Structure 1
Amino acid sequence: MAVNGEGSELRDRGEISVLYRRTPCKYPGKNVAFHVNEGSTDYWLSLLIEFEDGDGDIGSMHIKQSSSNEWLEMKHLWGANWCIIGGPLRGPFSVKLTTLSTQRVLSTRNVIPKNWSPKATYTSRLNFT
């Protein structure tokens, strides 16, 4: 669709139907990992989910502080990035993921440590397949 110098022709066509097909992700030998995004604080925590195998898209994500029994819902930002505003938020954190299509649940206990830091990645011992 992107031919150099022909952008105006493409724009003049109006709406264009695009067909796509979801394919399951495959990360053999890898476990789900959680990257703490830059800028995260005790009051705004943003996580990128990496290496989720099989079902694909995450439909919901929750975290639980070790000092609580309550799962806190995270908000979807874009792509595989999720965040929560509140606090102060205190680790270690357990994380629960639910897939969009099949509603499968993956729950990791204390995967993000008490002394977490932005730009760090924490790997679980689990994956969907």
Structure 2
Amino acid sequence: CFVKKNRTACKYRGKNIAFHVNAGSTDYWLSLLIEYEDGEGDIGSMHIRQAGSKEWIAMKHIWGANWCIVAGPLEGPFSVKLTTLSNNKTLSATDVIPSNWVPKATYTSRLNFSPVL
């Protein structure tokens, strides 16, 4: 949602941020695609927290809006924390990916950077 030097805000009014579990994801390699982030469009970091943990683990940026973590075994439900690059605004989606997650599924949060109208 942005052009090289001049960022253009994403416009996904009425939608909340969603996390698509990419094909090939396992309990040891989890890859997520961020969808529908409204307003910011410039995720600078992404962290994941496993079931029963207080520790946020940094995910690695692969390309575009795709992030991954190599660890394991990973245990859901997972909470996901996104931080924008431009202004360090942070959102945390608690238990957004359930314990029975599956590859190719999309899990929608109740949050977005701009208010959902």
The correspondence for 1:120, drawn from 100, 105, 108, is 105
Segments of structure 1 that go 5 or more residues without pairing to the other structure are 1-18
Bigger relative CO (Cα 8 Å, ≥ 6 apart): 2
Q: Who is 2:77 aligned against?
A: 92
| Structure with more helix by fraction | 1
CA distance in 2, matches of 1:54, 1:24: 5
CA distance in 2, matches of 1:56, 1:80: 9
Equivalent residues, number = 111
- Residues 1-129 of structure 1 correspond to what in structure 2 (within 5 A)? 20-129=5-114
Q: Deviations over 1:47-96 (max 9, x none)?
A: 00000011111000000012211001000000000000000000000000
Aligned-pair Cα RMSD in Å: 0.9
Rg: which structure is higher?
A: 1
Give the fraction of aligned pairs with identical amino acids, expressed as a percent.
Answer: 74
Structure 1 residues 20 and 71 mapped into 2: Cα distance closer, same or farther (>3 Å)? closer
CA distance in 2, matches of 1:21, 1:123: 29
**What SS does the aligned partner of 2:52 have?**
coil
Q: TM-score, normalised by structure 1?
A: 0.84
